[in-house]
Amino acid sequence: MPLPSLKDQFAALIAAPSVSCTQPDLDQSNRAVIDQLASWLGDLGFSCEIQEITPGKFNLLASFGSGPGGLVLAGHSDTVPYDPQLWKTDPLKLSEVGDRWVGLGVCDMKGFFPLIIEAVRPLLDQPFKQPLLILATCDEESSMSGARALAEAGRPLGRAAVIGEPTGLKPIRMHKGVMMERVDILGRSGHSSDPSLGHSAMDAMHEVMGALMDLRKQWQREYNNAQFSVPQPTMNFGCIHGGDNPNRICGQCALEFDLRPLPGMDPQVLRAAIRSKLAPLAEQHQVKIDYAPLFPEVPPFEQRADAELVQLAERLTGHVAEAVAFGTEAPYLQRLGCETLVLGPGDIACAHQPGEYLELSRLEPTVRLLRELIQHYCLDSAIVR
Ligand SMILES: [Zn+2]
């Protein structure tokens, strides 16, 4: 069957809902998107491997050519949830509005895949010296389980990887990590008139917060990276819940906070530092302090400025690689030995928003850029490092 046009491919992927969400009632399978991509890429001669990561959630690894090295063009197949009432157009239908295509996932980031296909199609009759791998992951918007599973499997994917998240076609080689954590304090309640009747979880929490603020100050002194608009690591106390009445000693208190480490800060080391600060407070206040992440962290990411991929992307785009404030799957692909960059056609400002769009003026430059990357890594290059 002949491949649909670029626009029809966009439309087909947008029409296949693939919401991923930590709320189970909103969460959907991404099977339809993966099957659609596998069918198009299979017709083009790619060999397609579909991996089930969790029930109903799939990664696609589609490769053309074989052997070590090569280029990985990667993206996630899922979208965030959406509220159709806030959209002026049907979010699951590709609409052309002015000089934009509008629809859920056009920018973040199902639209990246048709652009890869458009870029590679005219090259497929040439001999590939190194393979091209097109990777579509699941659940990037929720647990990152797709990318995590690949990192855990440890199978090398290629020597360079480009993730087409919305960066306005500017190369991104750094982002902070994202950690969301929770402290639970269990004390003992009792009548407020006699403190000896209980152990106040709230008094203990006061000191826990003081200890965390000390750590925050220390980390902000130790780490600073001027490439980021907020150059220091941050720690935000987002919510606190505890106690029930002024005349009862508070028996239970919980705090949730968000920590954004800079590249070079290891989440495991940060957690160990927090644990060792909190341990003596439990003893001192005779309470139980439980500290745990709310979900596995997104590690911070940095690709060295002198990497071949960074230099090449800077030359091809005319932009110096920068840092962004959002987390991506980049650290997982990097762990598999790929030089990794985030570089895609959309604008992050419209991602996760009603009316998500992609400027039509980005289509052609993206196809050209991807074609040059494929040319460099798969057709010209015979060196395997
Ligand atoms: Zn995304």
CA 372 – ligand 1 centroid, Å: 23
Cα separation, 330 vs 99, whole angstroms: 30
CATH number of the structural domain spanning residue 356: 3.40.630.10
Helix and strand numbers, DSSP H then E, in the chain: 9, 16
- Per-residue pLDDT 10s for the chain (385 aa) are 689 999 999 999 999 999 999 889 999 999 999 999 999 999 999 999 999 999 999 999 999 999 999 999 999 999 999 999 999 999 999 999 999 999 999 999 999 999 999 999 999 999 999 999 999 999 999 999 999 999 999 999 999 999 999 999 999 999 999 999 999 999 999 999 999 999 999 999 999 999 999 999 999 999 999 999 999 999 999 999 999 999 999 999 999 999 999 999 999 999 999 999 999 999 999 999 999 999 889 999 999 999 999 999 999 999 999 999 889 999 999 999 999 999 999 999 999 999 999 999 999 999 999 999 999 999 997 554 4
Task: With respect to residue 384, please indicate whether it lies within any of the assigned structural domains.
Answer: no
Amino acid at 93: K
* Residue 107 shares a structural domain with residue 217: no
* Residue 14 shares a structural domain with residue 139: yes
CATH number of the structural domain spanning residue 210: 3.30.70.360
Cα separation, 87 vs 102, whole angstroms: 10
Task: With respect to residue 51, please indicate whether it lies within any of the assigned structural domains.
Answer: yes
Task: With respect to residue 385, please indicate whether it lies within any of the assigned structural domains.
Answer: no
* Residue 58 shares a structural domain with residue 88: yes
CA 351 – ligand 1 centroid, Å: 8
CA 147 – ligand 1 centroid, Å: 13
* Residue 342 shares a structural domain with residue 274: no
Q: Name residues whose C-beta falls within 8 Å of residue 99's C-beta, 6 or more positions apart in sequence.
A: 359, 360, 361
Cα separation, 117 vs 374, whole angstroms: 11
Cα separation, 290 vs 181, whole angstroms: 11
Task: With respect to residue 1, please indicate whether it lies within any of the assigned structural domains.
Answer: no
CA 216 – ligand 1 centroid, Å: 29
Task: With respect to residue 169, please indicate whether it lies within any of the assigned structural domains.
Answer: yes
Are the C-beta atoms of residues 366 and 345 closer than 8 Å to each other? yes
Q: 351-368 burial by CB neighbour count: b if 16+ within 10 A, else e?
A: bbebbbbbbeebbeebbe
Polymer length of the chain: 385
Q: Which of 118, 139, 140, 339 is catalytic?
A: 140
* Residue 103 shares a structural domain with residue 72: yes
Amino acid at 135: L
* Residue that terminates a domain, selected from 256, 276, 293: 293
* Residue 221 shares a structural domain with residue 258: yes
* Residue 277 shares a structural domain with residue 323: no
Active site residue 78: yes
Task: With respect to residue 222, please indicate whether it lies within any of the assigned structural domains.
Answer: yes
* Residue 97 shares a structural domain with residue 150: yes
* Residue that terminates a domain, selected from 293, 315, 339: 293
* Residue 325 shares a structural domain with residue 258: no
Q: What is the number of structural domains in the chain?
A: 2
* Residue that terminates a domain, selected from 246, 278, 293: 293
**Closest alpha carbon to 102 in 7, 2, 204:** 7
* Residue 135 shares a structural domain with residue 194: no
- C-alpha distance from residue 337 to each of 151, 249, 272, 300, 384 (Å): 10, 54, 27, 16, 12
* Residue 40 shares a structural domain with residue 146: yes
Single pTM value for the model: 0.90
* Residue 14 shares a structural domain with residue 102: yes
Range of the domain at 239: 179-293
